[in-house]
Amino acid sequence: MFSAQRIQVLVETALPNCVADVRDDANDGEHFSADVTSSAFVGLPRVRQHQMVYAALGDHMKRDIHALALKTYTPDAWKTR
């Protein structure tokens, strides 16, 4: 079983100036949602931002995480959400 905290650590370690708020919404260790803020997202389209988060999770997206509802933000976008 995977944990929201493990996802948070992986993402925050991989992305600069990152804060990840990850939740196990179904409490099943497979279905998660996350709000991820990073300065690395500045100037990038949302698709590329999401790809960066998926890259940080690597093979866990294939075998441990069944679903990840993801919202990404630049630091400025987070302040004005």
Sequence spans of domains, the chain: 4-73
Q: What is the structure's pLDDT at 8? A: 98
* Mean of the per-residue pLDDT values of the chain: 96
- Tens of pLDDT, residue by residue over 25-49, are 999 999 999 999 999 999 999 999 9
Nearest to 7 by CA among 65, 74, 78: 65
Mean pLDDT, residues 47-70 taken together: 96
- Residues 6+ positions from 55 with CB-CB distance below 8 Å: 14
pTM: 0.95
Q: What is the structure's pLDDT at 1? A: 77
- Residues 6+ positions from 54 with CB-CB distance below 8 Å: 61, 68
Among 3.30.420.40, 3.40.50.300, 3.90.870.10, 3.30.300.90, name the CATH number for the domain at 4-73: 3.30.300.90
